[in-house]
């Protein structure tokens, strides 16, 4: 079932909005026991919100999941962390408001505060990949991807700071879009790395993705980095002429045979589509992951300082002899990866290391940005794999943070430079899929979706 087909059924009265809610909530309770893709199921909230609602948009009554680090007033938003186990936001994120009267089925499980690539860092248990329950669904928006892949919802909104929408989409055989930084409001997203974070979309196909982007994109004065751009109808895929697609050259060690094969076969597919392919050998891109894992923890360490047990997080109980004991107790609840990132970030920002790490990484980030804008003078799109491997086994990388970080090698660059990037299913291996990542020019999501749609049609129809 896709968004467009359910909308049609709803408008032609083959199904009623009550039937949608009954069916989808019933399924959610049953499947969530096994998959653990929702941290909470939002039945009470949604039935109340949709009582007396009418069809007013393409997403009216359409079941969706919102990642649990996106605030929805009237629900709990944990950001996947025990620290926010009982946190009720006093306001709703702009992207959620923009979705209108969709049916929120549940809040998606995630790595705590979105730090991770497998959803194993969640304070609320791991989510299973519905395509193979021994595998991770990817992360950090693993719950969102698992819910879409198992048909518990028709779309999901996640956040993407270094790949958290594209990578789980790839691991669950779905479409995942990270829009240009500034196109969709960050207001109401629980911050991770503020100069990297964007809300993103996970759907089963490119058309559904464009329907959701239509509703969430737009300027928001509540987000100081939101950018005013002319409104587009993303469902009208523009015609693409004389398309030039860059093919990213990358070191092959650490990239699995399946991924290399499927990337090669997507190049063959593009060749048959009459697009011009140009090999691109980037000078600085090999530094992306290192730069990301310096700058993001730095921003994290600053963003996490608000969880002091006073403004956010439960007040620790008991008599304290000092304020530092109070803080220590409040912050002891942080999951291991959260502590690790705060420590790395604090280290790279501290006196003596600031220039060597933070400043240096900022400079390299700028070089990567400049190199991209140069390269994009000659190409319209760029392709790479989304992930270096197919979904890995639950437990396989959790005790090896560096190994885990390496799974983000292809996705972090788009966040460093703010460009839009999408992952679409590339090739099937048993029940699992590899993903193809396509970068577009900033604010050209319409063209990016158009090319993605063409490739999707060639590969899967």
Among 28, 70, 95, 296, binds ligand GLN (CB under 6 A): 296
Nearer to ligand GLN, 217 or 289 (CB): 289
Nearer Cβ to ligand GLN (41/66): 66
Give me the 137-156 binding string for ligand GLN, x by CB under 6 A, dash otherwise.
---x----------------
Compute the distance between CA of residue 331 and CA of residue 82 in angstroms, rounded to an integer.
10
Among the options 42, 112, 117, 140, which is catalytic?
A: 140
Please check whether residue 83 is in contact with residue 313, taking contact to mean a CB–CB distance below 8 angstroms. Answer: yes
Interacting residues with ligand GLN between 185 and 214 (CB under 6 A): 192
Q: What's the rounded Cα separation, in Å, for the pair 112 and 100? A: 27
163: contact with ligand GLN by CB under 6 A? yes
The structure tokens listed for 209 are 């993705």
Binding span for ligand GLN by CB under 6 A among 108-116, 142-150, 210-218, 229-237: 108-116
Residue 68 binds ligand GLN (CB under 6 A): no
**SS3 category, 385:** strand
117 binds ligand GLN (CB under 6 A): yes
Q: How far is the CB of 336 from ligand GLN (least distance, A)?
A: 13
Q: How far is the CB of 146 from ligand GLN (least distance, A)?
A: 16
Phi and psi at 399, nearest 5°, equal: -95, 10
Contact between residue 64 and residue 153 where contact means Cβ atoms under 8 Å apart: yes
* Residue 164 interacting with ligand GLN (CB under 6 A): yes
Q: Is residue 160 a contact residue for ligand GLN (CB under 6 A)?
A: yes
Is-catalytic flag, 226? Answer: no
Q: Is 334 in the site for ligand GLN (CB under 6 A)?
A: no
- Length of the chain as a residue count: 461
Under a CB-based contact definition with an 8 Å cutoff, are residues 82 and 333 in contact? Answer: yes
The count of chain residues that interact with ligand GLN, using the rule CB under 6 A, is 14
Which of 408, 444, 445, 456 contacts ligand GLN by CB under 6 A? Answer: 408
Choosing from 156, 162, 176, 442, the residue that interacts with ligand GLN (CB under 6 A) is 162
> Residue 128 catalytic?
no
CB of 457 to ligand GLN, least distance (A): 29
How far is 291 from 161, CA to CA, in rounded Å? 13
Main-chain phi, psi angles of 105, to 5 degrees: -85, -40
Q: How far is the CB of 158 from ligand GLN (least distance, A)?
A: 8
- Mapped to the 3 state alphabet, what secondary structure does 122-180 carry? CCCCCCCECCECCECCCCCCHHHHHHHHCCCCCEEEEEECCCCCHHHHHHCCCEEEECC
13 catalytic per annotation: no
Q: Burial code of 105-136, b = ≥16 C-beta within 10 A, e = fewer?
A: bbbbbbbbbbbbbbbbbbbbebbbbbbbeebb
What is the rounded CA–CA span in Å between residue 12 and residue 55?
Answer: 12
Beta carbon of residue 411, minimum distance to ligand GLN (angstroms, whole number): 7
Residue 117 CB, shortest distance to ligand GLN, in Å, is 4
Q: Which active-site residues does the annotation give?
A: 67, 140, 164
For ligand GLN, the binding residues (CB under 6 A) are 114-117, 140, 159-164, 192, 296, 408
């Amino acid at each position: 079932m896709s968004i467009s087909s359910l909308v049609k059924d709803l408008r032609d009265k083959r199904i009623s909005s009550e039937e949608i809610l009954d069916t989808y909530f019933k399924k959610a309770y049953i499947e969530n026991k096994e998959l653990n893709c929702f941290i909470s199921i939002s039945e009470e909230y949604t039935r109340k919100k949709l009582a007396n609602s009418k069809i007013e948009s393409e997403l009216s009554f359409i079941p969706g999941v919102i990642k649990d680090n996106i605030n929805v007033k009237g629900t709990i938003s944990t950001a996947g962390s025990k620290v926010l186990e009982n946190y009720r936001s006093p306001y709703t994120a702009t992207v959620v408001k923009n979705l209108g009267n969709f049916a929120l089925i549940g809040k998606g499980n995630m790595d705590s505060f979105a730090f991770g690539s497998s959803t194993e860092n969640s304070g609320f248990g791991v989510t299973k990949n519905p395509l193979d329950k021994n595998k991770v669904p990817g992360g950090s928006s693993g719950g969102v991807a698992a819910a879409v892949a198992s048909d518990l919802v028709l779309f999901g909104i996640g956040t993407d700071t270094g790949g958290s929408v594209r990578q789980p989409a790839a691991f669950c055989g779905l479409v995942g879009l990270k829009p240009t930084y500034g196109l969709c409001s960050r207001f109401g997203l629980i911050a991770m790395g503020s100069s990297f974070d964007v809300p993103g979309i996970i759907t089963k196909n490119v058309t559904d993705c464009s329907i959701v982007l239509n509703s969430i994109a737009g300027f928001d004065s509540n987000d100081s980095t939101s950018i005013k751009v002319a409104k587009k109808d993303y469902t009208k895929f523009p015609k693409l002429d004389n398309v030039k697609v860059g093919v990213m050259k990358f070191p092959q060690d650490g990239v699995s045979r399946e991924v290399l094969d499927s990337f090669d076969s997507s190049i063959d597919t593009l060749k048959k589509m009459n697009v011009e392919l140009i090999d691109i050998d980037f000078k600085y891109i090999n530094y992306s992951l290192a730069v990301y894992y310096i700058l993001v923890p730095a921003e994290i360490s600053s963003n996490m300082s608000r969880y002091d047990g006073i403004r956010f997080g439960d007040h620790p109980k008991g008599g304290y002899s000092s304020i530092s004991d109070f803080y220590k107790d409040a912050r002891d609840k942080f999951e291991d990866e959260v502590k690790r990132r705060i420590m790395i970030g604090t280290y790279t920002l501290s006196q003596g290391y600031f220039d060597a790490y933070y400043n240096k990484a900022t400079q390299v980030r700028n070089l990567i940005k400049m190199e991209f804008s140069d390269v994009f003078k000659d190409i319209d799109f760029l392709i790479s794999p989304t992930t270096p491997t197919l979904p890995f086994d639950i437990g396989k990388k959790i005790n090896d943070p560096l190994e885990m970080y390496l799974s983000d090698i292809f996705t972090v660059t788009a966040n460093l430079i703010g460009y839009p990037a999408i992952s679409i299913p590339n090739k099937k291996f048993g029940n699992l899929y590899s993903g193809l990542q396509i970068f577009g020019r900033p604010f050209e999501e319409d063209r990016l979706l158009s090319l993605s749609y063409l490739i999707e049609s060639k590969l899967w129809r």
